[in-house]
Amino acid sequence: AQECQNLEIEKQKRIERIKQKRAQLQELLLQQIAFKNLVQRNQQNEQQNQGPPALNSTIQLPFLIVNTSKRTVIDCSISSDKFEYLFNFDNTFEIHDDSEVLKRMGMSFGLEAGTCSAEDLRIAKSLVPKALEGYITDMSAEFSWINQGLLSSSAQAVSHLEVA
Residues 89-108 that bind another protein (CB under 8 A): 89-102, 104-105
In the list 49, 60, 123, 142, the residue contacting another protein (rule: CB under 8 A) is 60
Rounded to a whole number of angstroms, the CA Rg of the chain reads 21
Q: Does 119 interact with another protein (rule: CB under 8 A)?
A: no
Considering the complex, what minimum distance in angstroms separates the CB of residue 65 from another protein?
A: 5
Considering the complex, what minimum distance in angstroms separates the CB of residue 146 from another protein?
A: 17
In the list 1, 51, 81, 154, the residue contacting another protein (rule: CB under 8 A) is 81
CA quadruple 19, 22, 26, 31: dihedral sign: positive
In the list 58, 148, 153, 154, the residue contacting another protein (rule: CB under 8 A) is 58
Cα angle, residue 132 at apex, residues 41 and 149 outer, rounded to 5°:
85
Listed in sequence order, the residues at least 6 apart from 94 whose beta carbon sits closer than 8 Å to its beta carbon are: 66, 67, 68
Q: What is the DSSP string of 11-30?
A: HHHHHHHHHHHHHHHHHHHH
Q: Which is nearer to another protein, 39 or 150 (CB)?
A: 39
Q: What are phi and psi of 23, to 5 degrees?
A: -65, -40
Considering only residues 15-34, where is the footprint of another protein by CB under 8 A? 15, 17-18, 21-22, 24-25, 27-29, 31-32
Q: Does 126 interact with another protein (rule: CB under 8 A)?
A: no
Considering the complex, what minimum distance in angstroms separates the CB of residue 102 from another protein?
A: 7
Q: Does 47 interact with another protein (rule: CB under 8 A)?
A: no
Q: Work out the burial of residue 8: count CB atoms within 10 Å of its CB; fewer than 13 is exposed, 13-18 middle, 19 or more buried.
A: exposed
Stretch of 71-79, 108-116, 117-125, 139-147 contacting another protein, by CB under 8 A = 71-79
